[in-house]
């Protein structure tokens, strides 16, 4: 059985500077590098590096970036047979600025990602009978995301949605198709229409998402931790303290760790801990896919911190 990731595949062009520019300002940067990215591809690599059999479904352009992106996915252990090379557009590109605190600003040019359509969903559908979960994000057209979730629901596999980039107008029909939704504070705020800052407001936001039909809402609060709620339980997992240098792909690493734990039969509690650990590790290195931990590093990180049930705080509301 495998995990399917349906989503974006980008080249990331990353510039570092002491701080992020304000509107109209030109800053002298410090460094530049080019790495493979895209939220879909990042999550596929996150899973593959943790030893999970992973299929990537998406599109790249018929350009040098497209060749590089496919090669990098394959080198990371991701199955690439269902990536379509679109000769009509360029590959997707993300332009990223990162400051010394690890904070970032990102502009995404969708390219081939913006052309993902029902044909891609049909290719995806052939893989579903042999899959245990489908991971979705919002860097491809929303119509394709909804269609993929519907296809997964018919085959009764788990649907995990990372609602990023942040949107306030997700279709109402999408929520009941989602088993687990994993917004960060900004994304949760956009979804529910009020600012989400801290555990109490994360709990309120999670409640709204559950009311809309999602079965499990996980709100990522960055260095503050993670709040998780289902109809049966609510709990909080504190963040792992690390020295963050770049938060790019931390959310994707979280979804990789979360899903890997669920695939291996661990509880939801432990899966959230795994997600938090993978996300923390990703912030300790620059770049997107280059920052994602392999299984040896990940297991060592958990052992060093003696992770267990004591990391989880049950909440009774």
Asked if residue 204 belongs to a known ligand binding site, the reply is no
Question: Phi, psi at residue 27, to the nearest 5°?
Answer: -115, 150
* Pairing verdict, β 31-37 and 54-61: unpaired
Asked if residue 224 belongs to a known ligand binding site, the reply is yes
The pLDDT confidence band at residue 266, using thresholds 50, 70 and 90, is very high
| Amino acid 307: pLDDT | 59
Crossing angle of helices 39-49 and 64-75, in 10° steps, is: 20
Asked if residue 10 belongs to a known ligand binding site, the reply is yes
Asked if residue 40 belongs to a known ligand binding site, the reply is yes
| Amino acid 317: pLDDT | 44
Q: Measured over all CA atoms, what is the biggest interatomic distance in the chain, rounded to whole angstroms?
A: 54
Interval 5-48: pLDDT, tens: 999 999 989 899 999 999 999 999 999 989 899 999 999 999 99
| Amino acid 263: pLDDT | 96
pTM for this prediction:
0.91
Asked if residue 151 belongs to a known ligand binding site, the reply is no
Instruction: List Cβ neighbours of 88 (8 Å cut-off, separation of 6 or more).
Output: 115
Asked if residue 39 belongs to a known ligand binding site, the reply is yes
Asked if residue 237 belongs to a known ligand binding site, the reply is no
Query: In the beta sheet, which residues pair with residue 131?
Result: 2
Catalytic positions are 252
Distance CA 137, CA 155 (A): 19
The pLDDT confidence band at residue 246, using thresholds 50, 70 and 90, is confident
The pLDDT > 70 percentage for the chain reads: 96
Asked if residue 257 belongs to a known ligand binding site, the reply is no
Crossing angle of helices 295-304 and 268-282, in 10° steps, is: 110
| Residues 293-297, mean pLDDT to the nearest whole number | 96
Least confident of 102-116, 132-146, 264-278: 102-116
* Pairing verdict, β 226-230 and 234-237: antiparallel
Spell out where 69-215 has E strands.
79-86, 92-98, 104-109, 131-136, 158-161, 180-181
Query: In the beta sheet, which residues pair with residue 2?
Result: 131
Interval 154-207: pLDDT, tens: 999 999 999 998 888 999 999 999 999 999 999 999 999 999 999 999 999 999
Q: CA separation (Å) from 39 to 5, 20, 153, 289, 313? A: 10, 22, 22, 10, 30
Distance CA 153, CA 173 (A): 12
Q: What is the mean pLDDT of the chain?
A: 93
């Amino acid at each position: 059985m495998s995990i399917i990731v349906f989503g974006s595949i980008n080249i990331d062009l990353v510039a570092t500077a002491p701080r992020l520019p304000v509107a109209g300002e030109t800053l002298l940067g410090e460094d530049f590098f080019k790495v493979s990215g895209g939220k879909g591809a990042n999550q596929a690599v996150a899973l593959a590096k943790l030893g999970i059999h992973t299929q990537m479904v998406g599109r790249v352009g018929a350009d040098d970036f497209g060749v590089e992106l496919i090669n990098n996915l394959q080198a990371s252990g991701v199955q690439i047979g269902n990536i379509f090379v679109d000769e009509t557009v360029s590959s997707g590109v993300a332009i990223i600025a990162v400051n010394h605190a690890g904070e970032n600003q990102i502009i995404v040019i969708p390219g081939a990602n913006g052309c993902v359509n029902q044909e891609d969903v049909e290719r995806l559908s052939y893989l579903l009978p042999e899959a245990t979960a489908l991971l979705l994000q919002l860097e491809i057209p929303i119509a394709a995301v909804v269609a993929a979730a519907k296809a997964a629901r018919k085959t009764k596999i788990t649907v995990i949605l990372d609602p990023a980039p942040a949107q306030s107008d997700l279709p109402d029909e999408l929520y009941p198709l989602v088993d687990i939704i994993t917004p960060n504070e900004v994304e949760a705020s956009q979804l529910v229409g009020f600012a989400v800052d801290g555990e109490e407001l994360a709990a309120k936001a999670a409640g709204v998402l559950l009311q809309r039909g999602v079965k499990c809402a996980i709100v990522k609060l960055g260095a503050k931790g993670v709040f998780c709620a289902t109809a049966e339980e609510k709990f909080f997992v504190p963040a792992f303290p690390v020295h963050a240098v770049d938060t790019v792909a931390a959310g994707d690493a979280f979804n990789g760790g979360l899903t890997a734990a669920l695939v291996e039969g661990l509880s939801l509690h432990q899966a959230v801990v795994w997600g938090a650990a993978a996300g923390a590790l990703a912030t300790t290195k620059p770049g997107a896919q280059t920052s994602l931990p392999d299984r040896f590093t990940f297991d060592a990180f958990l052992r060093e911190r003696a992770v267990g049930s004591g990391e989880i705080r049950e909440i009774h509301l």
